[in-house]
Structure 1
Amino acid sequence: MRYPIPMTDKSQLRSDMRTRRKRLAGLDPQAAERAASHISALPTGDPVAIYRAIGSELDTDALALALIRQGRSLCLPVVTRRDAAMIFRRWSPGEPLELDQAGVPAPLPLAETLSPALILTPLLAFDLEGGRLGQGGGYYDRTFAALPDAIRIGFAYAGQQVDDLPVEGHDIRLHGVLTEVGYTAARKVF
């Protein structure tokens, strides 16, 4: 179900969407497993970058296992500098993690650095034009700019869809979004 959003400043929009995502997480604890069941609809590409969920972000555990069953290799993002694009290190479920410069669980420095063909990203809100509202740190937009050939896919609850997001010049659109109801390609031409 889509929700109209009032055009407010992004900080207020982020606050509102964090509240919405937290509510959605509480209402549907099985959403991540259902989303993972739709991975056959995802574009091809290997390796695949996923993320370790924080707070109410849609959990990626079932997604990671489903991707591995498809024969895809995984990597996780690593913030090495707060003002730079993220790097990606090879990772498999169960391997140890440490906090990166942004305080997010990431593979150890000994893990191989990879360039993902497909990047699954968390978000606060998305629209059908490929708009993505993130946490506001710019990590994913900087990374998308540095890896323009990577396919960018949001991983979210369907209830995070909004009618229209404000998109600024530095915002890089997604190619699609995977939710518990399926995969939807963005309508916007890139």
Structure 2
Amino acid sequence: MEEKKEIRKRILGLREEMDCLNWWEKTAAIFHKVTAYPWFQEANTIYCYVDFRNEVGTADLMEKAWEMGKSVAVPKTDGERMDFYYIRSLQETAPGNFGVREPDPRKCRMADGKEGLLILPGSAFDVKGYRIGYGKGYYDRYLQLHPELLPMAVAFDFQVLEGIPHEAHDRRAQVIVTDKRMIENR
């Protein structure tokens, strides 16, 4: 089996090669599946990454959540720690660590992580819900501290493999939504 670093490099390379139209079409297909899913419909708070470097787009997911009267919280990293902060618009974010748009913790209130839907990013996933992130372990640690959150991954279908290496501390996505399918591991 390939090592995590090799898988990450290979899948991120495929993601970077996607043209704009293909990215938009696949992101739109994922958006429709996520927003129709009961977890999204029923959640009061959506914990969501801000997309970066050809990740599945999340701006429309956030807009839909706001339209439905939901709260939206996005991540801010600080050293080894990641917390989520409520925002009312993507205008309340600015480039931060790694160039990813983040909220300003001096202007935004920290989310408590007690309940809601957590949209997971990642470089690769497997059909059992395991994920390879970007190598820092932020989401695994956050989910360990906040087990009440419902973890849903969004990915382009080519990012989902039959199996990937994983460790005991790795947290699984209970649902993976791709442009072609939904995989449930509840």
TM range (shorter): 0.7 to 0.9
Q: What is residue 36 of structure 2 aligned with on the other side? A: 40
Check if 1:104 corresponds to 2:100. Answer: yes
CA contact (8 A) 1:119 1:151 kept: yes
Q: Which structure is higher in RCO with an 8 Å CA cutoff and minimum separation 6?
A: 1
CA distance in 2, matches of 1:165, 1:141: 16
TM-score where L is the length of structure 2: 0.86
TM-score, normalised to structure 1, is: 0.84
* Superposition RMSD in Å: 1.9
Shift of 1:137: 1.0
- Return 5+ residue gaps in structure 2 as ranges: none
Gaps of 5+ in 1: 1-6
Structure 2 CA distance for aligned equivalents of residues 102 and 151 of structure 1: 26
Counterpart residue number, 2:140:
141
- Partner residue, 2:48: 50
The structure whose residues are more often strand, as a share, is 2
1:103 CA displacement: 4.0
Q: More deviation in 60-69 or 123-132?
A: 60-69
**Is the deviation greater in 70-79 or in 95-104?**
95-104
Higher share of residues assigned helix: 2
The aligned counterpart of 1:11 is 5
Superposed CA deviations along residues 25-81 of structure 1, whole A, max 9, x for unmatched, are: 55343221221112111413221111111111111112112222333211101112x
Percent identity between matched residues is 22
